[in-house]
Amino acid sequence: MKKLILALFTLIILALIGIGGLFYWINNTMNTKIAHGKSNQYIQIPKGSSPNEVVDKLAAEGIISNAFAVKNYIRFFGDGSKIKAGEYQFDSPISPMQVLQELEKGEERTTKVTIPEGFTRFDIAKRLAEKFPQTPPMDDKAVLALMDDTSLIKDIDPTAKNLEGFMYPSTYSFPKDVKMQDVIKKMVEQFKKVWTSDRFLKAQQMGKSAHEIITIASLIETESRFDSERQIVASVIYNRLNKGIALGIDQTAVYIAKMEGRWDGTINKSDLESNSPYNTRKFAGLPPGPISSISESSIEAALNPKQTDYLYYVLNVEKNDGSHNFYASAAEFEKGKAAYQVWLEQQRAKKREQETNQ
């Protein structure tokens, strides 16, 4: 009898271990993202589809990799009745858990648009014109004109001349027939969610207006893509402003060229010699306004600069990853600049060689 009880106990323990292992595997599978090739396509989930039919369809489309795991997750932990019919566009990579969340929200046919951090209003206008055809037709210049309406941000910056810096970079989904004004409005509303009352108060405590902080944040955005060094870049900007030294940020020359409709992808000598008030090589102080869309990271850096003595920075050519070396003295900066110029000429020579061999 004791042997029978022991055997039964052992079987129960093994069963529990097996069930636990199965649930662990299901949970791990549900939260593992997989890549697929259908991110630009719509997948239709017909009305009346059962949860198993939906899972089988998504497995056949390559959106999920293991139908068994998903079916059992829905059976034991989910609620198949929440799955809605519709036309879905799934990001890639995506986890089965995220797929289920999308299916439970439901989705009408939409167009997704991504506005990268650092995009200017000129870049944004061009992308929106391509993504959202209007009736009557609207080109990027017409979209750009809509961005001159600053009524949406009068409460933040009553001095703004346009919406540059106030359209938040992110990925958005809109109905196919969306009005362009509504697209722009949504981007501004998203910015307002990030520009919180606490951040406005912090700017006031620093003696800065929202206009100044957002302008500084846009300079930081275009100068560094690394969150870890943006506060250091901010310190350089503030240190130079406090000493009355021209900021010398070349991205303002790029912005000038875009404003004047002549940006060709290369900063020319004429760009650096421009008499535009945006030319931070020629004129000390901040440019008249922001020069790009800004991320939350850059706003935080503008509000919380590191305390340093740095006045200069240059690309770190040893890492060659877009990060920078920072300097407090002109002499050290000149050494770093010389190394950068040697590296830059090497890169140009490689490019010329590649073009010759094509």
Which CA distances in Å does 173 have to 64, 90, 111, 130, 186?
A: 22, 12, 5, 15, 10
Per the CB < 8 A criterion, the answer to whether 273 and 345 are in contact is: no
pLDDT band, very low/low/confident/very high, at 280 (cuts 50, 70, 90): very high
Q: Name the DSSP letter for residue 80.
A: G
Supply the pLDDT for residue 2. Answer: 60
Q: Looking at per-residue confidence, does 221 or 317 come out higher?
A: 221
Question: How much is the pLDDT for 22?
Answer: 66
pLDDT at 13 over 80: no
**Tens-digit pLDDT profile for residues 293-303:** 999 999 999 99
pLDDT for res 23 = 76
Mean pLDDT (whole number) for 249-276: 89
Its pTM stands at 0.73
pLDDT digits (tens, 9 = 90+) for 116-169: 999 999 999 999 999 999 999 999 999 999 999 999 999 999 999 999 999 999
Kindly state the average pLDDT of the residues 318-339: 91
**Residue 25, pLDDT above cutoff 60:** yes
Q: SS3 of 315, please?
A: strand
pLDDT score at 119: 97
